Chain A
C-alpha cells in the first residue's frame, strides 16, 4: 500500500471515513436547523403545534416597524459597544501589567483569569447580590464611607441597568482577552525594544511605535470576539434582570428567547435570530478585511 505520494488533489476514501462522523453531527445539529430557521422565520409557528403557517414577510415587517425590536437593538448596541471598549482596554492594560510586573507574573495572570472560569449564571447571581440595595456590597461600602447619598438600586435604576450588567461581563471576560494580548506582547522581540531604548525613545514612544503595531493583530481578533460575545449575552441578563425593569435590559437574544418561550412566537423569534446572524456576518467580514490588510504589513 504505497500511497504516500497521494497528497494529490483527489478526495480519498480514508479522508471520508475520518471526517464523516464530525461532518454528520455538524450538518445535522447546526446546519440543518440553521437553514430551516430561515424557513421558520417566514412562518407564525408557535413552537408547539405541528402545523406551521407560512406568513411571508410579516415577521420581518414587524421587526422593522415594532418599537420593541428597535429597543432591543438599541440595548444590544449599547451593551456590546460598552463591553467591547472596556474589555479590550482593560485586557490590554492587564496584559501590560502582567508582562512588566517584577514579581508573581504567573500568579497575577491566574488571578485575572479566574472570573473567566465562572459560569454566566453564577457570576450573574454573585453580582446581583453585590448590587442589592439593602444588603449588597456596593451600598454597604458607600454606607461605611459615609456616602449614603450615592447609594443606588443598581439594577433597578433603568438608567444604570445595562451598564451594571456590562460591568459584570467586562469583569468576567477581560481575563480571556488578556491572555491573547499577553501572548502577542511576549512575541514582541526584546531586541527591538532595546534598540529603541538606546536610540532614546521614551517608554510611551516605544509603546506607540513598536508594541502597538505588533499587537494590532491581537487587537482585531479580540475586538471581533468581544463584539460577537457581547451580541450573544444571555445568562447574566436571565439571572440579574430578566430583561427588566420594563424592557431596559432586553437585548436581541433576550427578546428572541422571550417571544419564543414565553409568548409562543417562535417564528418571530427565529426572524430576530436571522437579523443577529446578519450582524455577526457583517462584523466578521470587516474583521477578515482588516486581518488581510494587516498580514501584508507584518
Chain B
C-alpha cells in the first residue's frame, strides 16, 4: 500500500452515513437498555427519552416476583453441558471422516450434511413422542441430547474444513512415537483445532442460549424454565409491567454481548467457514 492518503470529502460523508446507520441498528438495543432503567410510568409517558436516574427497582422486582434465578441457572446449565458434550463428540466424528477417507465415511458426511436441511419443526412431534419413550422428556437431558444432535451437521462441516489445513506429518510423528489414534487426536490434533472449536462453541452456544421452543415444550411446566421462556411468559402474563420484562431482556442480552466482544474473530471465522462450504 502507498502512504496514507489525505481524507477526501467523500470519506466524511460516508462516515456520517455509517454512524447514522449504526445508530439505527443499535437503537432497539439502546431502547431496551434505557427502558430497563426506567419506572413503568416513565416507559409509558416518555418512550424515547433517556432515563433520568439509575433506577434498579425493575431488576429487584424481577428476581422477587419471578424465579428468574432458576431460569438463569437453567440457561447456563443447558448451554455449558451441551457445549462440553458437543466438543467431546463432534470433532472426533469430523476427524474420523476427514482422516480415514473411504466411501463409507464420505457417505456419512453427506448424511450429516443432508440433516442441515431438515427443519426442527417438521420432526418435533414424533421426536417428543420418542423422547417420552426414552424418559428424556420433561428433564434437562431432553434438550441436551437434541442440541448435541442438532450441532453435528454444522460442526462436522466446520471441523472437516479446518482439518484439511492441518498437516498430517505431526500426526504421523505422534503415531510413530507410539500414540494410539485416540491419543493422537486428543493430544496432538485437537489442540491445533482451537480456533475451530472456538468458532463452533460460540456460534452454537449462542443458539442454545437464545433457544426458545425446545425448552418451552420439553422442560416440565410449573417451574421456571430458561431465560427466553420466562421472558416469553412475562409478555403474556405481565402485560402491564414492561419494566420487569425489559430488565429480563437485558440479562439475556448482556452475556451474549460480552462473549461477542471478547471473541469477535471466532464469530467471523465460523460464519465464513460455514458459508464457504454450506
A interface residues (Cβ-Cβ under 8 A, vs B): 1, 3-4, 6-12, 14-19, 21-23, 25-26, 28-34, 36-37, 40, 45, 47, 94, 97-98, 100-104, 106-108, 110-115, 117-123, 125-130, 134-137, 140-141, 144, 171, 175-176, 179-180, 183, 218, 221-222, 225, 228, 231-232, 234-235, 238-239, 253, 256-257, 260-261, 266, 269-270, 273-274, 276-277, 280-281, 284
Contacts and interface: CB of A to CB of B under 8 A. Distances in A.
Contact of A125 (B7, B96, B245): B245
A18 B95 contact: yes
A121 B228 contact: yes
A121 B118 contact: no
Given A15-B100, A137-B31, A110 B118 contact: no
B175 A136 contact: no
A111 B209 contact: no
12 contacts: A3-B175, A14-B96, A26-B115, A97-B17, A97-B21, A110-B260, A115-B28, A117-B206, A125-B231, A126-B249, A222-B275, A273-B122
A115 B22 CA distance: 11
Interface residues of B, number: 92
B61 interface: no
Contact of A277 (B100, B102, B118, B272): B118
Please report whether the interface of chain A is mostly helix, strand, loop or mixed according to DSSP.
helix
A228 B7 CA distance: 42
B242 interface: yes
Contacts of A137: 31, 47-48
Instruction: Please give me the 8 A-B residue pairs with the lowest Cβ-Cβ distance, nearest first.
Output: A18-B96, A119-B210, A273-B122, A22-B93, A15-B100, A11-B104, A29-B149, A33-B123
Contacts of A17: 96, 182
Contact of B115 (A1, A31, A114): A31
Contact of B89 (A21, A253, A280): A21
A171 B25 contact: yes
B29 interface: yes
Given A122-B231, A221-B275, A135 B93 contact: no
